[in-house]
Amino acid sequence: METSNLNIFFAEKFGCSGSLYFAPARINLIGEHTDYNNGFVMPGAVDKGITAEICANGLDIVRVYAMDMPAEQQYIEFAINQESKPNQHWACYIFGVCREMMKRGVEIKGFDAVFTGNIPAGSGMSSSAALENVFSVALNDIFADNKIDRFELAKIGQATEHNYCGVKCGIMDQFASLFGKKDCLIRLDCKTLEYEYFPFKPEGYRLTLINSCVKHSLGTEYNERRESCERVVEHISRNHSGVDSLREATIDMLLEVKAELDETDFSRAKYVIEETERVLTVCNSLKEGDYDTVGRMMFGTHWGLSKEYTVSCDELDFLASLAEEYGVKGSRVMGGGFGGCTINLIPESIHDAFVEKAVTLFSEKFGHKPEVYEIVIGEGARKL
Ligand code: GLA
């Protein structure tokens, strides 16, 4: 990412220069809403992300500019020992990271920072995890005597979401943005945090995001789904003491308690149990280069998310249906849902024609153009 504007802005505001850090956004091939159910996910980091310039200021306050925000919302400051959250939403991520690091014994001192990014807002690529990580990696570097490892940094980002931003998310986004590796997807077991890199350069295919530009922001509806899953686990575990998340549950176990469950909770849990299976199937298929199966699983995820987990929307369903019709191998809503992008595994031979068709038909139907991004899988968060 071009950093000269950032350097100029920082110098103008603070009269000096700081160190540069970058944290990427993420994609996820498959494994959606499985992370907070202790299941598997298959994300990767991308080349888009957030870059921050940071410097200790020798004071007891934190002063930050969000360069891409409108002028009146660009600046916040908070005292290091302040308990109350700042009043700009974006600043809560930084405030939360500081608090969570302090809880873990890091002596955070005052600092100045400016950050900028190129992650499309509300696209489901997790700009919030990138923001948490760019700060946690930098502050760890600058202030921690005993360095916190990357597993714990991921938990710091997740705890920030839970405790300061109102989203009871899983760990996928923070993990992917920290552990990303060029041209690799990461199979992550969200129960144990064991992970494996899967080289991903599918010969003859392109991985493309189509952004519906329906802005999503996660909150109540996301948290409600998590609660549904937890309620179902409670029921199943009465019969099966070994089950403490949907990861350990099977469809048979779910059917045993069907009569006790609300229909919505049942459908949501069914989706999650099946999705965990789909991730494992995709891992095996990738090893064999069997993209037909990978694609079929992606469509399976889409319609599960749409009909059972109900986190899709008309625009995303339209894009997935169109993809199915035009011979795209796999397509599905990516990330938390309620808007954002579809991720598409498109045969090279039909790529351009499909993308053109999708943009035209989508624009005709919904009155605005979707955006198209070719995915480049890159490295995780780092000092530049
Ligand atoms: C959001 C959350 C993640 C994960 C996905 C859905 O991105 O932050 O933890 O739950 O939604 O897979």
The 10s digit of each residue's pLDDT in 222-231 is: 999 999 999 9
Instruction: Decide if pLDDT at 331 tops 90.
Output: yes
Q: How far is the CA of 332 from the centre of ligand 1 (A)?
A: 14
Q: DSSP letters along 83-112, please? A: -SPPSSHHHHHHHHHHHHHHHTT-----EE
Q: What average pLDDT score do residues 43-68 get?
A: 97
- pLDDT tens-digit map of 102-156: 999 999 999 999 999 999 988 999 999 999 999 999 999 999 999 999 999 999 9
Q: How confident is the model at residue 369, as a pLDDT?
A: 97
| Torsion angle in degrees (nearest 10) through CA of 240, 241, 243, 249 | -10
Q: Which residues are catalytic?
A: 173
Asked whether 132 lines ligand 1 (CB < 6 A), one says: no
One-letter identity of residue 48: K
Count other Cβ atoms within 10 Å, centred on residue 288: 9
Q: What average pLDDT score do residues 316-339 get?
A: 96
Residue from 33, 177, 245, 310 whose mutation best tests the ligand 1 pocket (most atoms within 8 A of CB): 33
Q: For ligand 1, atom 2, which residue shows the shortest CA distance?
A: 169
Strand, helix or coil at 119?
coil
CA 124 to ligand 1: nearest atom: 7
Q: How far is the CA of 328 from the centre of ligand 1 (A)?
A: 25
CA distance 153 to 101: 9
Q: For ligand 1, atom 5, which residue shows the shortest CA distance?
A: 336
CA distance 120 to 324: 25
Asked whether 335 lines ligand 1 (CB < 6 A), one says: yes
Whether the predicted model's global pTM rises above the 0.85 cut: yes
Strand, helix or coil at 309?
coil
Share of the chain above pLDDT 70, in %: 100
Asked whether 317 lines ligand 1 (CB < 6 A), one says: no
CA distance 323 to 68: 33
CA distance 26 to 149: 20
